[in-house]
Amino acid sequence: MHITNNLGLNLGCHLSIAKGLPKMYEMAAFLEASCAQVFTRNPRGGKRREIEDAEIEQANALRQQNGFKTLICHIPYTVNPASPRVEALNFAKQVLRDDLRHADRFGGDFVVFHPGSHVNSGLEAGIGRIVETIKEALNHYDGHAILCLEHMAGGGSVIGSDPTELAAILEALNWDERLGICIDTCHLFAAGFDVRTKEAIDATLEQFDRTVGVGRIKCVHLNDSLTPLGSKKDRHALIGQGELGVAGIKAVVTHPVLSKLPLCLETPVERDTDYAAEMDAVRALL
Ligand SMILES: [Zn+2]
Ligand SMILES: [Zn+2]
């Protein structure tokens, strides 16, 4: 099987690697997904499954054979590189350093993480800890995978819903080429950046261009939003069934800039095979 059904989009979805990387690539081929996202480790317990060389070789063969393009690896949400708690911060440092190398080894193109929450310890202190964590992760790292900060919906002490905060982090790291930004259509909308028309997306991207630079945006999480514009809530909805709606999602997937980036669904489905309907809902808009 060769992935041909995406009508020019690099479209995919979040998939499980619990049954191994080759099974994940088989599922991607079944869904005709040319990109996919996987967790670097168990999203709850934080444990990491060791992946043998033989499994990686088998996975890479499938990947090539199917014409699969982009693998995004996501660090668990519970990891907080901005935490004022020493233990939590040390864990975040260990995970970022280890998972960047781990994901690079098994073929990850982008390793996405949430900047985290300063937990009422102040934005500046939180940003300082994120910078320190990234610095340690990049120390002696010369892999292919790019470490991406995710733009967030905001709320509470969450860092990274304002692109100037992401720019401050990149600036403190001298705009290192091993760093990128991941955006999420639900997070953008919840953070107050409209994406429901071409004009709204242009205005949103201009805000990003003035801060992090549009060229830094490496991948897009394609989600509808359960909550309204500026709600600061991170609640994903099925494609076309949230506040973005069919017209909003269509504006995203036909936008001249966004349509060139890997678009990865993280919509609330029960099981991986349910993404078939979500992928179809997107393709129907093209
Ligand atoms: Zn995320
Ligand atoms: Zn989200």
Using one digit for the tens of pLDDT, what is the confidence trace for 220-246?
999 999 999 999 999 999 999 999 999
Sign of the C-alpha dihedral computed for residues 214, 113, 27 and 270 taken in this order:
negative
- Is residue 5 assigned to a domain? no
- Is residue 218 assigned to a domain? yes
CA–CA distance, 248 with 172 (Å, rounded to integer): 35
pLDDT number for residue 1: 63
pLDDT at 46 over 90: no
CA–CA distance, 275 with 277 (Å, rounded to integer): 5
| Structure-block tokens of residue 265 | 């669904």
Residue 252 CA to ligand 2 centre (angstroms): 17
Collapsing DSSP to helix, strand or coil, 247 comes out as helix
**CATH number of the domain encompassing residue 109:** 3.20.20.150
- Is residue 1 assigned to a domain? no
Give the total number of structural domains in the chain.
1
Residue 151 CA to ligand 2 centre (angstroms): 9
- Is residue 240 assigned to a domain? yes
**Confidence category of residue 2, pLDDT binned at 50, 70, 90:** confident
CA–CA distance, 80 with 245 (Å, rounded to integer): 32
pLDDT at 99 over 90: yes
pLDDT number for residue 66: 94
- Residue 72 belongs to what domain range? 11-283
**Entry pTM:** 0.97
**Mean pLDDT for the stretch of residues 111-133:** 98
pLDDT number for residue 225: 98
Residue 190 CA to ligand 2 centre (angstroms): 10
- Is residue 98 assigned to a domain? yes
- Is residue 66 assigned to a domain? yes
pLDDT number for residue 7: 80
Share of the chain above pLDDT 90, in %: 95
Residue 115 CA to ligand 1 centre (angstroms): 10
Check residues 7 and 40 and name the one with the higher pLDDT.
40
Sign of the C-alpha dihedral computed for residues 267, 72, 8 and 214 taken in this order:
positive
Residue 231 CA to ligand 2 centre (angstroms): 13
pLDDT number for residue 247: 98
Using one digit for the tens of pLDDT, what is the confidence trace for 160-211?
999 999 999 999 999 999 999 999 999 999 999 999 999 999 999 999 999 9
pLDDT number for residue 167: 98
- Is residue 4 assigned to a domain? no
